[in-house]
Structure 1
């Protein structure tokens, strides 16, 4: 009986690891990376996309988190390399607060580190609130204040992307996304909001790997190690991602890197991955 139980446990472990490997491959995740190489590869990727598209500007919203800090610095390095090659290239960083941003100092610290060519500051509160008001005037109702706040949070995320694409359209630019493998795994982004972009230079990286790139690039430790928050809910300001997800980034990264995770974390992650599959796909079409 003991041997049979052990064998069954080993089989379950192998099966779980096989699922983790398959999901990791789908999201282009890797257990180990060469940090210097990844910085150069992803910078060169941005240069190549600019060259192939004929666009001369990169646009990115800077929140003060590690993802936008790393992506922003890669963007600035890319446009500087293009200019060294004799090409026109500009990076426009955008501050996109909703009203007063509680962690605005972090966003300013990120900009000081990134040193973008240009900074545009666009407050999205009026536009977001006006759209919600128009929806309610048009007859939309909510079951409670929390549902209304959740919908407003997604409006904020999409309004930020509207602003970035307006700048890209005016400047002949490409919009950069900050999605990495951990957020992609959990579907932790707003569809057609922060999940919408032209180029996604952090694709395939776990959260800890993004932090490693940030450290190598010389980003401030406070930003590299900052606890992530989407900060979209007005009723729960600065709500930690890990609280919303029900699992830690450490466990999410271990899953992606095919390391051992608890059964509870495995089930939470896999259930969420399957439930959010629609976010990672193109619009569903008839067979």
Structure 2
């Protein structure tokens, strides 16, 4: 079962960072060529995934321009109010060196939607459920903003989903899970970090403890706390290495429970 899941998620026990960077940069170039789009769009959070994907995007558009094609990368800052780790997002942008940066605060739109839902009659069991729903609204508002830019600039929206998040279903359906191109597909968290190191990204970003930071009542909540298993154990599972029985059970149970997130909408037979 472990091997079968790894194959389904396109995971590999080992990767050559230099080769993977070239392959994934060229994947973005090919996607632009085949779709006849001229812009790549990505939200930059300050984590390793968006840092690596952002730098790949910038390298891809630079290669397209060297080939005589029109191409640009638009990086987006998408905070909800004041971002607690805003300095990390600034470091990521300084490293990526995108062609353009747009700063869009999603708090007003997110809060307004939640208030409209409550005015329309939606009720919550408690404050934590309300906060969880708001967290998913934030993720989806960020994607609304990115697609607005892509629609204006003839662009493709980049997703940062990698194999570790795909395995655990650790993304918002039609939020950060929605995109046109996903250049990090198949990589474990460890392998994303290796690509970041190969690119020369700041160590503080490469080694940063991941957080989705969607819950207002639990700001900067670590992914590993939410998941109930460490990224080291998730990576070991993906890379066909031995994991503890408890980690195996948690991972497989979560994988099965979140299967709907990895599928297209259900349709009649």
Tell me the equivalent position of 1:20. 2
Tell me the equivalent position of 1:8. none
Question: TM-score, normalization: structure 1?
Answer: 0.94
SS in 1 for 2:76: strand
The answer on 1:176 being equivalent to 2:162 is no
Tell me the equivalent position of 1:279. 261
SS in 1 for 2:233: helix
Residues 42-82 of structure 1 deviation map (CA, whole Å, 9 limit, x = unaligned): 00000000000000000000000000000000000000000
Of 32, 35, 39, 2:17 maps to 35
The answer on 1:238 being equivalent to 2:220 is yes
Query: Where does the alignment leave 5 or more consecutive residues of structure 1 unmatched?
Result: 1-18
Of 198, 207, 211, 1:225 maps to 207
Tell me the equivalent position of 2:141. 159
Give the alignment's Cα RMSD to 1 decimal. 0.2
Tell me the equivalent position of 2:169. 187
Within 2, Cα distance between the matches of 1:53 and 1:159?
25
CA drift of 1:198 comes to 0.1
Of 98, 118, 140, 1:136 maps to 118
Of 193, 204, 218, 1:211 maps to 193
Within 2, Cα distance between the matches of 1:45 and 1:277?
26
Within 1, Cα distance between the matches of 2:54 and 2:70?
18
Within 2, Cα distance between the matches of 1:221 and 1:20?
31
Whichever of the two has the greater Rg, that structure is: 1
Residues 203-232 of structure 1 deviation map (CA, whole Å, 9 limit, x = unaligned): 000000000000000000000000000000
Residues 83-112 of structure 1 deviation map (CA, whole Å, 9 limit, x = unaligned): 000000000000000000000000000000
CA drift of 1:179 comes to 0.1
Within 2, Cα distance between the matches of 1:262 and 1:252?
11
Tell me the equivalent position of 2:240. 258
The total of aligned residue pairs comes to: 269
Which aligned segments of 4 or more residues in structure 1 are displaced greater than 6 angstroms? none
Residues 213-252 of structure 1 deviation map (CA, whole Å, 9 limit, x = unaligned): 0000000000000000000000000000000000000000
Tell me the equivalent position of 2:93. 111
CA drift of 1:286 comes to 1.3
SS in 1 for 2:102: strand
Within 2, Cα distance between the matches of 1:45 and 1:148?
39
Within 1, Cα distance between the matches of 2:117 and 2:205?
37
